[in-house]
């Protein structure tokens, strides 16, 4: 079958694109590893229009509920591996099969940046994680470390101080970044210790994590921690995009109509070079991409 449209990703951009595509009666599918993307990792969200306060998982549930009302076909737990032209159409190869469509929206978001230190791979999912919202409850009453100093690290720390015995925030720069209100909350919390100018050198453990090595003020130190949360930023999930043009950071380059350099291929959300990465911006970009895909299909029919 040749679909009108394939949407890769089901975060705010992909889900919003799906809602708009469904309302335009397009014949399409959504291919995704998971529902919600980075939004599901967020603890407290206070800047999404219409909600003075909502958790990331709750907002994801709202998004998914809205999308499911249209009986959208979602291919879950499926990783996009290659995008290529097939005559006038576009083929998407995934971990489970191959699909073809007349147009494509890439809304695959970002993936966690890794530390690249000894012990990281060995202890992944054995005390080391990249998602405080997902795994934080497993570390109730334990000492944990959050690696990073931006908003994602601060959000993780604020979630974990409610659960853990103590939270160490390991920040490589001289001071915390992120939003001032979040910095102030972390720095004022008795259960949080911020270690600036500190670089992680190793992850230690036996069967599970029991500590991290850091270098601070020219000296090597070891901090006892039974949980390590890596929050050092994200990388665009665009490696499968083939001939789609990307910038030096790996972000897909788009114009104001969400068009890429390949006719019929659009992109939206955090995987693109849109300068600000926010849930509300990703959702808006998803709607734009779907509307432009609809216009493109009308031109080629």
Return per-residue pLDDT of the chain as tens, 301 residues.
999 999 999 999 999 999 999 999 999 999 999 999 989 877 778 889 999 899 989 999 999 999 999 999 999 999 999 999 999 999 999 999 999 999 999 999 998 899 999 999 999 989 999 888 878 898 999 999 999 999 999 999 999 999 999 999 999 999 999 999 999 999 999 999 999 999 999 999 999 999 999 999 889 999 999 999 999 988 999 999 989 999 999 999 999 999 999 999 999 999 999 998 899 999 999 999 999 999 999 999 8
The domain spans of the chain are 2-112+234-300, 128-230
Residue of 58, 88, 131, 206 marked catalytic:
131
Whether 13 contacts 107, CB under 8 Å = yes
- What pTM was computed for the model? 0.82
Residue of 4, 58, 134, 276 marked catalytic:
134
What's the CATH code, domain 128-230? 3.50.50.60
- Helix %, strand %, coil % for the chain, to 5? 30, 35, 40
Residue of 34, 58, 88, 135 marked catalytic:
135
Fold classification of 2-112+234-300 is: FAD/NAD(P)-binding domain (3.50.50)
Burial of 100 (0-12, 13-18, 19+ CB in 10 A): middle
Confirm whether 135 is a catalytic residue. Answer: yes
Angstrom distance (rounded) from CA 29 to CA 156: 33
Confirm whether 58 is a catalytic residue. Answer: no
Angstrom distance (rounded) from CA 297 to CA 5: 9
**DSSP string covering 54-84, please?**
EEHHHHHHHHHHHHHTTT-EEE-S--EEEEE
Angstrom distance (rounded) from CA 234 to CA 152: 10
Confirm whether 131 is a catalytic residue. Answer: yes
């Amino acid at each position: 079958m040749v679909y009108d449209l394939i949407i890769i990703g089901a975060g705010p951009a992909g889900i919003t694109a799906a809602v708009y595509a469904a309302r335009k009666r397009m014949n399409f599918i959504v291919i995704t590893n998971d529902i919600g993307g980075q939004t599901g990792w967020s603890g407290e969200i206070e800047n999404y229009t219409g909600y003075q306060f909502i958790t990331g998982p709750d907002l994801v549930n709202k998004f998914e509920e809205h999308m499911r009302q249209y009986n959208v076909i979602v291919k879950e737990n499926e990783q996009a591996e290659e995008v290529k032209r097939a005559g006038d159409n576009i083929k998407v190869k995934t971990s489970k099969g191959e699909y073809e469509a007349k147009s494509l929206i890439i809304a695959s978001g970002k993936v966690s940046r890794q530390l690249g230190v000894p012990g990281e791979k060995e202890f992944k999912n054995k005390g080391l994680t990249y998602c405080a919202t997902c795994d934080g409850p497993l570390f109730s009453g334990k000492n944990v470390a959050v690696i990073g100093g931006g908003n994602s690290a601060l959000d993780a720390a604020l979630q974990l101080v409610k659960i853990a015995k103590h939270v160490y925030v390991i920040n490589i720069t001289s001071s915390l970044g992120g939003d001032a209100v979040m910095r102030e909350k972390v720095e004022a919390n008795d259960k949080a210790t911020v270690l600036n100018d500190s670089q992680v050198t190793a992850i230690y453990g036996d069967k599970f994590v029991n500590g991290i090595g850091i270098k601070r003020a020219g000296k090597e130190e070891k901090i006892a921690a039974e949980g390590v949360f890596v929050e050092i930023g994200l990388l665009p999930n665009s490696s499968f995009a083939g001939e789609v043009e990307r910038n030096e950071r790996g972000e897909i380059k788009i114009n104001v109509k969400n068009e890429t350099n390949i006719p019929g291929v659009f992109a939206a959300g955090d995987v693109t070079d849109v300068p600000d990465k926010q849930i509300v911006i990703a959702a808006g970009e998803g709607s734009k991409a779907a509307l432009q895909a609809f216009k493109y299909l009308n031109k080629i029919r």
